[in-house]
A and B are shown apart, each in its own frame.
Chain A
């Protein structure tokens, strides 16, 4: 299945801004994070299709996964 992965802030450094990934069906979000060499401890927010999700959430065809480091502001 195809999933669009979007990275933000310093997660983009030496990686990418967004990419289409071919992934096995039922891949979990955490596996994508691990596959990118991103430390789970550094992940602040995960969203699929603009809704919050967890490392255990399973991805589906055409999902858009957004991975953010711990950030704040306001």
Chain B
């Protein structure tokens, strides 16, 4: 299939298929969504208005047999941060979109009236249908109903009630190979989809295949690449314990944000740890390993059953467990799993929402540790769109403002995730300088600050942190363009075979000759494109700062503050 751009205009309810402009040809995934948003979206527009565009892009290698290449990027101007946004997720849709020959799907405009729509994608392009049956329904009902409505194995991308209600932390859900849900989680992209009255997108590539320019070279590179991934010990540990193996190690380091970021260690850490989760999954007959997309050789996902042995949730991640666990002081893994399942169903970011609950607990809306209360509010308030539900559903910043609090852990209004920037300083630089608000995945310094992957850099010292975050953010922007899961970075940081094999894969797919320098330059170009959009939207270097309390409230056990000056943070952009 030749790659093309599929466009859906909801002002006119028309669709088109376009050739790929030369300037976009070398981009995929995040690089492509950010390039398109920067080129076509007015940076000053209202994110929920007709001028914003929602862009879906599989990575450069998605749809091929390359290991771990099934990530789907979604981009727009974010209603949560007001910045440019890209969120990526696994699931089956990236590969199926690529097999339709869809390099990017651009959804623009806004329909008049109350009618809701669905979009169907195949090799010929996109088509629009009216939808009524599924409006108001949760993601699991959407996936169930659609798997009966359609023949064959289609990809499904959907929003839940939170997206329909345009909450700022609504996510976009992508069906995984077993009918579970993966999420383009951060930044409220589900609200943008809701603002365009699109409930779901279905993808049916038929017999479509991705063209490979040099099949033999591709096969050889994929063998070397997959071996580098499988051989790395982090990949093996991820399969056994999932990402939640981090609870105990981050707790031990004193960087596990606890009780709305007032402490760096959680007394209940053992009860919510990866080790306990692993044992519980085995006891209850769940699945320790599970792949979120076909071709993943790491399999960090899992299926977590309840005490009766019925599936409670899947894709149960460290950040969600930390946020609902340590940050809200909930030490009952079953409550956290139930909350995770409800958040998947109503389609809301499990990091933003859980951090918002931590702030709400400090405000006295409910007690710290009240896991049952969290589940009730998720279902009865957020899921139904009550006033309190909308306050929490609009994120941690919204809760802080509503209740007049100052300890509100957000950067550019996006909740800070699972690593305290006072005790792990490199990640603080990432939170501050990321083009998309606080996001650990933008430049995961934890690898080097804590895990001794890619070298080591003392988490409590300022030395080397800006350079570490810069190098990782540049590399991440490039990896996010390939369709690769970011977890390939552990192997790429330590194994000299890994990155050349990845570049060989891209070259064999397109018949080109990229070098490592080209890939680094791609990463730099993406970051500068994103920052350029933000500057035109009104952001300056003064927005690249952490909330005041991180500079003034020492966090135990190390009793440290975040002590970078603004000038020091700003040197991040010296490249």
Chain A positions within 8 Å of B, measured between CB atoms, are 6, 8-10, 12, 17, 42, 44-45, 47, 50-52, 66, 68-74
| Pairwise interchain contact A44-B451, C-beta atoms closer than 8 A | yes
Residues of chain B lying within 8 A (CB to CB) of residue A45: 249, 450-452
Residues of chain A lying within 8 A (CB to CB) of residue B265: 50
Of B30-38, B236-244, B342-350, the one touching chain A? B236-244
How far apart sit A71 and B235, CA to CA, in the bound complex (Å)?
Answer: 8
A64, closest chain B residue (CB): B252
How far apart sit A74 and B237, CA to CA, in the bound complex (Å)?
Answer: 13
| Pairwise interchain contact B252-A74, C-beta atoms closer than 8 A | no
**Shortest Cβ distance from B430 into chain A, in angstroms?**
11
**Shortest Cβ distance from B102 into chain A, in angstroms?**
29
| Pairwise interchain contact B245-A9, C-beta atoms closer than 8 A | yes
B251, closest chain A residue (CB): A50
**A-facing residues in B295-332 (Cβ within 8 Å):** 300, 318-319
Residue from B249, B270, B459 within 8 A of A71 (CB atoms): B249
Given A45-B450, A71-B234, A73-B243, A8 contacting B249 (CB threshold 8 A): yes
Residues of chain A lying within 8 A (CB to CB) of residue B533: none
How far apart sit A72 and B252, CA to CA, in the bound complex (Å)?
Answer: 14
Q: Does B444 contact A (CB under 8 A)?
A: yes
Residues of chain A lying within 8 A (CB to CB) of residue B271: none
A54, closest chain B residue (CB): B456
| Pairwise interchain contact B275-A52, C-beta atoms closer than 8 A | no
Residue from B238, B254, B557 within 8 A of A72 (CB atoms): B238
Residue from B237, B253, B254, B270 within 8 A of A9 (CB atoms): B237
| Pairwise interchain contact A10-B240, C-beta atoms closer than 8 A | yes
Given A9-B245, A45-B450, A45-B451, A72 contacting B234 (CB threshold 8 A): yes
A-B CB contact pairs (8 Å), 25 listed: A6-B252, A8-B245, A9-B237, A9-B275, A10-B240, A42-B233, A45-B249, A45-B452, A51-B460, A52-B452, A52-B456, A68-B249, A68-B252, A70-B233, A71-B241, A71-B246, A71-B451, A72-B237, A73-B243, A73-B245, A73-B300, A73-B318, A74-B243, A74-B319, A74-B486
How far apart sit A19 and B346, CA to CA, in the bound complex (Å)?
Answer: 44
Residues of chain A lying within 8 A (CB to CB) of residue B557: 50
Q: Does B467 contact A (CB under 8 A)?
A: no
A10, closest chain B residue (CB): B240
Q: Does B447 contact A (CB under 8 A)?
A: yes
| Pairwise interchain contact B456-A72, C-beta atoms closer than 8 A | no
| Pairwise interchain contact B252-A50, C-beta atoms closer than 8 A | yes
| Pairwise interchain contact B447-A72, C-beta atoms closer than 8 A | yes
| Pairwise interchain contact A73-B246, C-beta atoms closer than 8 A | yes
Interface-central residue, B234, B238, B249, B440, by most chain A CB under 10 Å: B249
| Pairwise interchain contact B441-A71, C-beta atoms closer than 8 A | no
| Secondary structure call for the A interface | mixed
Would you give the 0/1 interface string for B4-40, flagging 1 where the beta carbon is closer than 8 Å to chain A?
Answer: 0000000000000000000000000000000000000
Q: Does B564 contact A (CB under 8 A)?
A: no
| Pairwise interchain contact A74-B318, C-beta atoms closer than 8 A | yes
**Shortest Cβ distance from A47 into chain B, in angstroms?**
6
Given A8-B275, A9-B275, A44-B233, A73 contacting B252 (CB threshold 8 A): no
Q: Does B377 contact A (CB under 8 A)?
A: no
Q: Does B2 contact A (CB under 8 A)?
A: no
Q: Does B572 contact A (CB under 8 A)?
A: no
| Pairwise interchain contact B244-A73, C-beta atoms closer than 8 A | yes
User: Which are the 8 A-B pairs with shortest beta-carbon distances?
Assistant: A73-B243, A72-B234, A70-B233, A73-B246, A71-B237, A50-B254, A71-B245, A66-B252
Residues of chain B lying within 8 A (CB to CB) of residue A52: 452, 456, 458-459
**A-facing residues in B443-498 (Cβ within 8 Å):** 444, 446-447, 450-453, 456, 458-460, 486-487, 490
How far apart sit A57 and B257, CA to CA, in the bound complex (Å)?
Answer: 28
Q: Does B409 contact A (CB under 8 A)?
A: no
**A-facing residues in B227-269 (Cβ within 8 Å):** 233-234, 237-238, 240-246, 248-249, 252-254, 265
| Pairwise interchain contact B450-A9, C-beta atoms closer than 8 A | no
A73, closest chain B residue (CB): B243
| Pairwise interchain contact A70-B237, C-beta atoms closer than 8 A | yes
How far apart sit A38 and B188, CA to CA, in the bound complex (Å)?
Answer: 46
A66, closest chain B residue (CB): B252
Interface-central residue, B245, B319, B447, B487, by most chain A CB under 10 Å: B245
B318, closest chain A residue (CB): A73
| Pairwise interchain contact B456-A9, C-beta atoms closer than 8 A | no
**Shortest Cβ distance from B255 into chain A, in angstroms?**
9
Residues of chain B lying within 8 A (CB to CB) of residue A42: 233
Q: Does B59 contact A (CB under 8 A)?
A: no
Q: Does B274 contact A (CB under 8 A)?
A: yes
Given A9-B241, A50-B557, A69 contacting B252 (CB threshold 8 A): no
Q: Does B558 contact A (CB under 8 A)?
A: yes
**Shortest Cβ distance from A58 into chain B, in angstroms?**
19
Residues of chain A lying within 8 A (CB to CB) of residue B487: 72, 74
How far apart sit A25 and B418, CA to CA, in the bound complex (Å)?
Answer: 37
Residues of chain B lying within 8 A (CB to CB) of residue A70: 233-234, 237, 451-453
Interface-central residue, B446, B452, B558, by most chain A CB under 10 Å: B452
Residues of chain A lying within 8 A (CB to CB) of residue B244: 73
A68, closest chain B residue (CB): B249
**Shortest Cβ distance from A52 into chain B, in angstroms?**
7
Interface-central residue, A6, A44, A74, by most chain B CB under 10 Å: A74
